Amino acid sequence: MNNLIINILIVTGTFIGMEGVAWFTHKYIMHGLFWYFHKDHHHKDHDGFLEKNDFFFLIFAIPGILCLAAGSFYGDIISLCIGIGITIYGAAYFFVHDIFIHQRFKIFRNSNHWYFKAIRRAHKMHHKHINKEHGECFGMLWVPFKYFLENNKKPEI
């Protein structure tokens, strides 16, 4: 039972830690050295379903795959748990960023939940900046608190 709790904590900690990795990578790598790949995501200067920005899927997937492989093939439970955490974060990223926010598939369009409204608004503000040097809201699941507060404001009469 103790091992199960530790394994769940490793998966959960990895998932939470991936938000920091995604924030750092988005701010300093995507909006820095690899702007070439991320630029079309902000400018929409691409044809078709895929973007050059989708290249980053591999950057995030490879460590998860390696950890899952090490855990599976060598019985390394810590690597396996880390791989599971990375993979769950990747799935969450796909559903929240690609499906919910950018509507690559036309589902979940009319959510009025305070959390989803806040992350959608923050991401919209991020895309308002089309140059690599500027921007805000580089996270995906956790955004500045002001976006959560905006949803609780009462309309003025």
- Is 52:40 a contact under the CB 8 Å cutoff? yes
Query: In the prediction, which pLDDT does 27 show?
Result: 85
| Residue 94 domain flag | yes
Percent of the chain predicted with pLDDT > 90: 33
The 10s digit of each residue's pLDDT in 111-139 is 777 888 888 888 777 777 666 666 677 77
Q: CA end-to-end span of the chain, whole Å?
A: 56
- Is 147:119 a contact under the CB 8 Å cutoff? yes
| Residue 41 domain flag | yes
The region, left, alpha or beta by phi > 0 then psi within -120 to 50, assigned to residue 131 is beta
The 10s digit of each residue's pLDDT in 71-87 is 999 999 999 999 999 99
* Domain encompassing residue 97: 2-109
Q: How far apart are CA 74 and CA 67, in angstroms?
A: 10
Taking the model in full, what pTM does it have?
0.82
Q: How far apart are CA 44 and CA 65, in angstroms?
A: 30
| Residue 57 domain flag | yes
**Residue 55 corresponds to which tokens in the numbers above?**
């290249």
Total of domains in the chain: 1
The beta-strand segments (E) located in the chain are: none
| Residue 67 domain flag | yes
**Residue 87 corresponds to which tokens in the numbers above?**
């993979």
Query: Which distant-in-sequence residues (6+ apart) come within 8 Å of 91 by Cβ?
Result: none
Query: In the prediction, which pLDDT does 119 show?
Result: 80
Indicate whether 2 pLDDT > 70.
yes
| Residue 140 domain flag | no
| Residue 144 domain flag | no
The 10s digit of each residue's pLDDT in 32-55 is 888 878 877 777 665 667 778 778
Query: In the prediction, which pLDDT does 115 show?
Result: 82
